[in-house]
């Protein structure tokens, strides 16, 4: 049975490719062997064949080499001095008035909020700013007030635990956040409390599961269409 020409090379073809590839145009070799240009390039790569320096320096190297030579005149080489060396850039206008200088205290920033400022987080909890330390990420400069209240009454929160409001006691009113309305529970217990299996009837829980499975299938199908360019 004859093997497919697309990938099968005879010993004679391999010998001719090895002999001619370093010093001849690939297109000529492909034509004489009756093979596609891409097939010849791939086989040469697999065999570790490369064009010789003499061939690359000749006109026979073709259009690609001429284009590469033309681009070399515009390339930035190691050791070349950039045109803007030693020059400073000024955007002009009033931009320098709004720049925050390095080393200045955070309190001088235009959007600075002082320590003790309170806000409502995206999760609906009252938070308080407790530090200006710029080495601390912005989100960690704020701490939930109910956590601060619990720690003031009971000390540091044990590892693997969190402070939450007791059922029905959640509030953002600072005056109503007191230690007797809070409790410290494990993260596992918190996850159990927030599980839809415990908060909804069995039928509703099954519907939530089905919706999640459907959303995952839709997402996967959309991703497949994008990868296929459809």
120 part of a folded domain: yes
226 part of a folded domain: yes
Range of the domain at 59: 11-70
Q: Rounded to whole angstroms, how far apart are CA atoms 26 and 139? A: 60
The mean of the pLDDT values for the chain is 80
pLDDT of 54: 85
Q: How many domains does the chain have?
A: 3
123 part of a folded domain: yes
185 lies in the same domain as 224: no
85 part of a folded domain: no
138 lies in the same domain as 188: yes
User: For 206-220, what is the mean pLDDT?
Assistant: 76
62 lies in the same domain as 129: no
141 lies in the same domain as 173: yes
Summarised one tens digit per residue, pLDDT across range 96-130 is 666 656 666 666 667 788 889 999 998 899 999 99
Highest mean pLDDT among 30-34, 145-149, 220-224: 145-149
218 part of a folded domain: yes
Summarised one tens digit per residue, pLDDT across range 33-52 is 989 888 899 999 989 999 88
Tell if the pTM clears 0.75, that is, is over it: no
42 part of a folded domain: yes
Cβ neighbours around 9 below 10 Å, total: 19
User: For 190-194, what is the mean pLDDT?
Assistant: 80
81 part of a folded domain: no
CB 37 within 8 A of CB 66: no
137 part of a folded domain: yes
CA 218 to chain centre: 23
168 lies in the same domain as 229: no
Which residue pairs from 216-224 have beta carbons closer than 8 angstroms and sit at least 24 positions apart in sequence? none
Kindly report the CATH number assigned to the domain that includes residue 165.
3.90.75.20
65 lies in the same domain as 29: yes
175 lies in the same domain as 124: yes
Cβ neighbours around 157 below 10 Å, total: 13
């Amino acid at each position: 049975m004859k093997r497919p020409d697309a990938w099968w090379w005879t010993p004679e073809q391999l010998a001719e490719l090895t002999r001619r590839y370093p010093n001849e145009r690939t297109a000529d070799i492909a034509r004489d062997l009756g093979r596609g240009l891409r097939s010849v390039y791939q086989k040469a790569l697999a065999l570790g064949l490369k064009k010789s320096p003499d061939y690359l320096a000749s006109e026979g190297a073709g259009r690609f080499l001429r284009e590469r030579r033309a681009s070399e005149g515009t390339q930035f080489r190691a050791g070349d001095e950039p045109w803007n060396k030693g020059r400073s850039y000024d955007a002009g206008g009033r931009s320098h008035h709004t720049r925050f200088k390095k080393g200045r205290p955070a309190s001088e920033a235009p959007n600075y909020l002082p320590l003790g400022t309170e806000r409502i987080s995206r999760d609906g909890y009252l938070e308080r700013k407790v530090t200006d330390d710029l080495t601390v990420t912005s989100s960690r400069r704020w701490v939930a007030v109910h956590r601060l209240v619990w720690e003031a009454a009971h000390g540091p929160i044990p590892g693997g635990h969190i402070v939450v409001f007791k059922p029905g006691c959640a509030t953002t009113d600072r005056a109503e956040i007191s230690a007797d309305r809070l409790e410290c529970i494990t993260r596992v217990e918190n996850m159990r409390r927030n599980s839809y299996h415990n908060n909804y009837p069995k039928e509703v829980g099954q519907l939530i599961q089905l919706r999640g499975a459907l959303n995952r299938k839709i997402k996967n199908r959309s991703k497949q269409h994008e990868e296929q360019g459809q």
